Amino acid sequence: MPCFKQPNHLQSLLVLQWPLTYLALFWIVQPLFVCLLFTSLWPLPALYFVWYFLDWKTPERGGRRSAWVRNWSVWTHMRDYFPITILKTKDLSPEHNYLMGVHPHGILTFGAFCNFCTEATGFSKIFPGITPHLATLSWFFKIPLIREYIMAKGVCSVSEPTIDYLLSHGPGNLVGIVVGGVAEALQSVPNTTTLLLRKHKGFVRIALQRGAHLVPTFTFGENEVYDQVLFHKDSRTYKFQSYFRRTFGFYFCIFYGRGFSRDSNGLLPYPLPIVTVVGEPLPLPKIENPSQEMVDKYHTLYMDALCKLFDQHKTQHGCSETQKLIFL
């Protein structure tokens, strides 16, 4: 078990509430809300569902962020649990739009969430004039109530129409994409730096189409906060994980961390430092129909920039001098 500081119980509870809130909204609050249709309070859910269907395009247009939600004190407690920090290496000019690669995925992507979906680490002060959006699975925005909660934090759909809309408006919009996607979660084990990037080039193509600057980032410590049980590709468990991913859009990972006491196991992440390093933006020309050769060129430049960023900061954040990024 990793050696770590002992967070207070409030910090532990508020870190645990983040994933549990989504489960509660889906399995408890949403069914109860539907049940109100059969009570004297039926106008409340009825009006919401009418509005829900009228509002269906909002997630494709950047959502509906709330400064109030992004500044909740719960996020500062979550930040301090690890702690989570963001490190700027270069300024981002508000005169441009940006497409940011988020690496690695990790199990629950604590670093990207805290840094780009809340103001706990001071994003708006570090990058003034930049409006961050973190893209996630599109089907989340089809779930009543949950869609409102995630949009309030600046989360947007990872669909191409959504990203295209944000990058064609602005300037000053920044869209973060976890390029490795949910498949990279299975690579998220401590002391590994394996990224699913070599064949993922769609983000480069859309950046070229909109003339957005590419921004590499790497979050040190993201893979270290949980241990994961991995299974052989021929095993029944792995086949079930693959089936689950095809059905629901993400992998059913079996992972564990610490419990509420120091020497116990549980679902709390290990309170180890998480540092998101934001690299220098890579300017791209605006090409309406970029050729595959052009996409390959800038994809290679992006991978080189990401490797350079990692190598410059790895020894300060727990990696050895010989550690390298591995692209699959």
| Residue 248 clears pLDDT 90, i.e. is over it | no
pLDDT category, 62, cuts 50, 70, 90?
confident
Q: What's the CATH architecture for 9-327?
A: 3-Layer(aba) Sandwich (3.40)
pLDDT category, 5, cuts 50, 70, 90?
low
Backbone angles phi, psi at 232, to 5 degrees: -65, 145
Residue 169 has what pLDDT?
Answer: 92
| Residue 150 clears pLDDT 70, i.e. is over it | yes
| Residue 246 clears pLDDT 80, i.e. is over it | no
pLDDT digits 0-9 by tens, 270-291? 999 999 999 999 999 999 999 9
More confident residue, 8 or 71: 71
Q: Considering the chain, what is the average pLDDT of its residues?
A: 92
pLDDT digits 0-9 by tens, 39-57? 999 999 999 999 999 998 8
pLDDT digits 0-9 by tens, 195-235? 999 999 999 999 999 999 999 999 999 999 999 988 888 88
pTM of the model: 0.92
Residue 2 has what pLDDT?
Answer: 55
